[in-house]
């Protein structure tokens, strides 16, 4: 992997971990993090040994405390619009073909919450706090918050978070369905990596197509979604992994999926 300035990328067996590494600034997202995040995902997309990606923040206080507010002074409408256009970090996660898990180890605010929302699964520590505090800066969400948060937790809950800028704690996030699991901070990495490793053993093409189909559910109507699903399902029947999965079941052994 390349060497990066503001993120760390580490591989553990079939799981890659991207760590936003600016703990002194609570891992806030500056231009370097955005650019390096896109570059790292490009590398991990092409690396067949990587089956699942986990994104987290350095230190024990913050996952990501939002956009780097110090960069707002020079921001223009054009620079801010460019940040979230096609090749943004968030959109790269959204369209990344492999599963991406947000391991939320503390403050998860603003763009940090939007980044987590772009991931496929969110796992949090008990000390995590979630919010969209943009309103307190006189601005609003720009990285998908109004859309993805609303789809995930419903309009009333999203509206309250976005209009007040107030934080919610981890149990509340769990009850809203914003995160799938909450663990003590000391257990967060172990539990998240266990889930990532479990998913990493599945057939890569079936994972990719499943992710595409599930994401399509919130972007289409039921008839279009059902048509898309059956097309993707049919593609699975062209893969070597389907033959391996079925043979392994019949032979009562563990399948060895190759992503072919
Ligand atoms: N952008 C830039 N710097 C940030 C930051 C952000 N989003 N969030 C925190 N920091 C910096 C602080 O300026 C401080 O830097 P310093 O030590 O050089 O002064 C450092 O990170 C630690 O943060 P601090 O505010 O001292 O920690 P805290 O425990 O008192 O408060 C928060 C934690 C998360 C409540 C508070 O940092 C905060 O509100 N951050 C901004 C969150 C936000 O509005 N995000 C959305 C942006 S659109």
| Structural domains of the chain, with CATH | 7-200 (3.90.226.10), 204-250 (1.10.12)
d(CA 36, CA 144): 20
Return mean pLDDT, the chain. 96
Q: Residue whose CA is closest, atom 39 of ligand 1?
A: 65
Active site residue 10: no
**166 pLDDT tier (thresholds 50, 70, 90):** very high
Angle at 87 between CA 84 and CA 93, to 5 degrees: 90
Query: What is the rounded CA–CA span in Å between residue 153 and residue 159?
Result: 10
Q: Is 134 one of the catalytic residues?
A: yes
What the block records as the tokens of 58 is 């350095």
Between these two residues, 78 and 194, which has the higher pLDDT value?
Answer: 194
| Residue 159 CB less than 6 A away from ligand 1 | no
CA-nearest of 121, 131, 12, 16 to 64 is 131
The confidence band for 86, taking pLDDT boundaries of 50, 70 and 90, is low
Is the pLDDT score of 171 beyond 80?
A: yes
pLDDT for residue 87: 78
d(CA 147, CA 135): 16
Is the minimum distance from the CB of 220 to ligand 1 under 6 angstroms? no
Q: Whose CA is nearest to atom 14 of ligand 1?
A: 25
- 109's enclosing H/E stretch is strand 107-109
**Three-class HEC string of 64-82:** ECCECHHHHCCCCHHHHHH
CB of 41 within 8 A of CB of 92? yes
Q: Does the pLDDT at position 31 exceed 90?
A: yes
Non-local CB neighbours of 50 within 8 Å, separated by 6+ positions: 11, 14, 15, 16, 44, 98
Evaluate: CB of 23 within 6 angstroms of ligand 1.
Answer: no
Give 97-146 pLDDT, tens digit per residue. 999 999 999 999 999 999 999 999 999 999 999 999 999 999 999 999 99
70 lines ligand 1 (CB under 6 A): yes
Q: Report the predicted TM-score, pTM, of the whole model to 2 decimal places.
A: 0.96
C-alpha to C-alpha distance for 241 and 207, rounded to whole angstroms = 11
Q: What DSSP line would sit under 144-203, residue for residue?
A: SIIIIIHHHH-HHHHHHHHHH---EEHHHHHHHTS-SEEE-HHHHHHHHHHHHHHHHTS-
Structure confidence at residue 118 (pLDDT): 98
* Separation between Cα atoms, residue 108 and residue 104, nearest integer Å: 7
Q: Is 246 near ligand 1, meaning CB less than 6 Å away?
A: no
Nearest CA to ligand 1 atom 29: 61
Catalytic residue among 36, 71, 114, 240: 114
């Amino acid at each position: 992997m390349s060497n990066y300035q503001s993120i760390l990328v580490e591989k553990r067996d079939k799981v890659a971990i991207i760590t936003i590494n600016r703990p002194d600034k609570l891992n806030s997202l500056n231009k370097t993090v955005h650019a390096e995040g896109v570059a790292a995902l490009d590398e991990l997309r092409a690396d067949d040994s990587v089956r699942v990606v986990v994104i987290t923040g350095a230190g024990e206080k913050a996952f990501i405390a939002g956009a780097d507010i110090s960069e707002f002074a020079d921001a223009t409408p054009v620079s801010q619009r460019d940040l979230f256009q096609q090749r943004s970090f968030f959109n790269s996660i959204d369209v990344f073909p492999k599963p991406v898990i947000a391991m939320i180890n503390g403050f998860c605010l603003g763009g940090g919450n939007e980044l987590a929302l772009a991931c496929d699964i969110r796992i949090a520590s008990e000390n995590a706090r979630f919010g969209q505090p943009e309103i307190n800066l006189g601005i609003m969400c720009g990285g998908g918050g109004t859309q993805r948060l609303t789809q995930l937790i419903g309009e009333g809950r999203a509206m309250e978070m976005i209009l007040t800028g107030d934080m919610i704690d981890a149990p509340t996030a769990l009850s809203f369905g914003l995160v799938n699991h909450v663990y003590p901070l000391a257990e967060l990495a172990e539990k998240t990596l266990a889930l990532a490793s479990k998913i990493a053993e599945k057939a890569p093409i079936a994972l990719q197509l499943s992710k595409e189909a599930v994401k399509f559910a919130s972007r289409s109507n039921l008839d279009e979604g059902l048509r898309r699903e059956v097309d993707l399902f049919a593609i699975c029947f062209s893969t070597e992994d389907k033959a391996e999965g079925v043979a392994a079941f019949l032979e009562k052994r563990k399948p060895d999926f190759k992503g072919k």
